Structure 1
């Protein structure tokens, strides 16, 4: 039976859910608070430069293919993908870096050159990671997190130890070279937790990295958002921008309508792809599932300080994706997760899309995107942003042996306050809730409200977790749940 469904937000999860629900015959309207759609995956343009504001890594292309296949189409029908070679490089000191290329064979050689004998260990490690990938990404993550029994399969019973070991223990046991260990620990940072708190099973991220590779959509990640918008509209989805939601109206144990700018929009079902904590504040307290102390006690993925920079020349000695691990990882991780504060010496990441993609910057110029992971909830001031810009630029110039500050045309920053203002993000987090053992699957906030029969949630604070591919999956899971519960 056709339902009138209102979706709050227009990020990857919300757009995914909208497509599936419209395909099932429902009348779907998306309400987006900002001027443009995409949530954290919006785009910023200035003086001929184009930046993806948020996600910049295209991993797990099979998940995107599976999404579009559900609508009898392909990613290629909407955007073109390029596999990056090299995928990325990692700096450990001045002119001292390791480059990760585009095939396992090349990566094995890079490991062997760094530490004789390590390639054999890596072959074994990646084989297990691939096995985990096949179990997780092709099966487990497509389960709605309703019961612990979802995790119990003949395969996972055999892998039970991998839910109680950690990535860090596994990596450090086999790889004594700290540089190689850090490269293997890096992918799980996308899951929002320290390698020492991330279950061994999540090594499937290493297979996503080394085994499948890193891709770039021509014209940037925002092309995926535009593709999903086009698909959604072709299915009949209505998208309303500049429509922040002020309140969710409840009557007789059900959501009845949403309110935006004084206008009331009756709804048979309300689905929020916006921040979970914020969405519950739109309800009267008695209809909220989770208390403030619940959210306070959860491990959140980091926030970020981001800089978008237009350079008037090409930048040397970097790749499209370049990581800077020249400082103590443990000290920075402690400042994010254990004793939250602004880090003394942060690791950082730099992305230069114009190396791959001419559309990202005018000819002869470079678009640079710099990211420092931070604890959510920190004080955020212009003075602090300026201090950290100087810190990373000084290191960047030293490590890559070049002067770039004099070549800056403009720079824009984005940090904790902006995540709160633009996305109503809890404490200004950038990636959602971390995937630790106690925050996996059924232990995450529910897709379906326990208090209101027709209120649902999707996105990075619920199942399956942070990241773009999980967001696409989250949209499918919640749409399936809605269709199951509202057949009549």
Structure 2
């Protein structure tokens, strides 16, 4: 293990917390700075009139990865969280089949195959083969592709990878939707297998078929829910970080990453590269921040935090185009060809009375996915109806609302268009509507849910409503172009094609989170923290899941 260093982590979301905790446990002096008053990053929380909402991640998948982080911290997910398995895992309302009963999807290979067979004769056996492939690819990904920054390229020549190359090559070249459509006819079954592309920030047609591995997560492993929502996960991680000595500064925004030895602000030339190889090139020296302060006229005080290592666990675009010194910033042209992934309109609804028509997770799928996703990718108006996701958190977690009432969270995938604006808040004491485009999308989504789920008086029963639009995501987490999850997992932004965790130009600068390897999602953010740990502490990512190394 390397010598103790002074580390500043920028960003208090899952990646920032995970990184700070692991590095502090390794003996480093760690300070974490977060611009908002509460930690969590994209995993927001909001309460009003006794209703409580997660405003970010809500699907608890890859539980072994989350548990792994807790074990590296000397505990376990079971000790820190009250986890409930969802059965059924989710409910599907499909346009064109609304007169039929909705499809309830249960986890476990046998149950999933029985469901597919009941809808399409012969589909059960085909699903069994499909899930076997998904499980193989998922296992290979964990062993060879997720816990790495691809800085040891010879490892890709491992016999396990070489043996899988022909199949992986076909899966990388083909799209997920076509991969599914060749095997199943019923549109509902196709959608059940292809919708996880949205979790990857892209459409089923643009996601590589390799990502059929996602079906292993919900159809084989199953879906869980932590009581208290993902905010409970944030709180547990924060407590462990503080116990390890992490200094956490909230309401503290990083304004600059300080770097010395970078040719007086010019982009590094050949001589600088040679100097870096010899250990004398550009290196970080600290982070400047604006911290909440009540004893200065402006209400904020400037502070410099010295650092041997800086971990940027915030949005990569913001870090590289705003916080680095002028001569080392990434030009905007570098981002022109990148895909920000989907944005979205989020709707929190506090509803009087019960809603047994919904499960904890419900998915509403339109019949014409091509048109639906094409509009999102092209930045056009959403179709009406549109595909959306609903979380009835109180189905499992009744304390998230007053007794007998429900907390609903709606996610409407939308274009990454900051111009759509911000959302608003409506409660018995407040009437602050958001921008027209965001409110219109929210109104249509509530009306669609009411019609499809058979709750005609839904809008009349809403007593609390908050909407969140793409511009809110920019303000809250500096999300590039209002991206909801991070850059989408199209082929050119997956695996080794995704930005690296280690900055190749500046010594001591690393990145963590959904913008970099391995990618989008809470488990991926925790894995990126391990990759950072390897670079800083020399502890191999993915090695040893139990006691402190």
TM-score, normalised by the number of residues in structure 1: 0.96
Moved more, 205-214 or 321-330: 321-330
Moved more, 139-148 or 440-449: 139-148
- The 3-state SS of whatever aligns with 2:252 is coil
Q: Quick one: distance in 2 between partners of 1:446 and 1:321? A: 34
Gaps of 5+ in 1: none
Partner of 1:375: 415
TM-score, normalised by the number of residues in structure 2: 0.85
C-alpha displacement of 1:323 = 0.5
Moved more, 385-394 or 138-147: 138-147
- The 3-state SS of whatever aligns with 2:420 is coil
Partner of 2:260: 251
Partner of 1:340: 379
Matched ranges for 1:165-180 at <5 A: 165-180=174-189
Partner of 1:53: 55
Q: Quick one: distance in 2 between partners of 1:167 and 1:150? A: 27
Q: How many residues align?
A: 483
Q: Quick one: distance in 2 between partners of 1:145 and 1:285? A: 28
The answer on whether the counterparts of 1:313 and 1:366 sit within 8 Å (CA) in structure 2 is yes
* The one of 247, 265, 283 aligned to 2:324: 283
In terms of Rg, which structure is larger?
A: 2
| Alignment pair present for 1:351 and 2:380 | no
Partner of 1:33: 35
Deviations 1:103-153 (A, max 9, x none): 322221211111111001000000111111111124420112336545443
Q: Quick one: distance in 2 between partners of 1:308 and 1:321? A: 14
Q: Quick one: distance in 2 between partners of 1:393 and 1:484? A: 50
* The one of 13, 21, 24 aligned to 1:22: 24
Partner of 1:6: 8
The answer on whether the counterparts of 1:171 and 1:185 sit within 8 Å (CA) in structure 2 is yes
Q: Quick one: distance in 1 between partners of 2:75 and 2:186? A: 45
| Alignment pair present for 1:238 and 2:247 | yes
Q: Quick one: distance in 1 between partners of 2:309 and 2:235? A: 25
C-alpha displacement of 1:398 = 1.2
| Alignment pair present for 1:124 and 2:129 | yes
Moved more, 122-131 or 276-285: 276-285
Matched ranges for 1:73-84 at <5 A: 73-84=75-86
- The 3-state SS of whatever aligns with 1:246 is strand
Partner of 1:445: 499
Matched ranges for 1:142-181 at <5 A: 142-146=147-151, 148-160=153-165, 161=169, 162-181=171-190
Q: Quick one: distance in 2 between partners of 1:353 and 1:138? A: 33
C-alpha displacement of 1:378 = 4.2
Q: Quick one: distance in 2 between partners of 1:428 and 1:72? A: 36
| RMSD after superposition | 1.6
The answer on whether the counterparts of 1:15 and 1:228 sit within 8 Å (CA) in structure 2 is yes
| Alignment pair present for 1:329 and 2:338 | no
* The one of 502, 505, 512 aligned to 1:458: 512
Q: Quick one: distance in 1 between partners of 2:206 and 2:164? A: 18
- The 3-state SS of whatever aligns with 1:310 is strand
The answer on whether the counterparts of 1:187 and 1:209 sit within 8 Å (CA) in structure 2 is no
* The one of 449, 454, 464 aligned to 1:401: 454
The answer on whether the counterparts of 2:344 and 2:413 sit within 8 Å (CA) in structure 1 is yes
Partner of 2:275: none
Q: Quick one: distance in 1 between partners of 2:152 and 2:416? A: 29
C-alpha displacement of 1:327 = 4.2
C-alpha displacement of 1:95 = 4.7
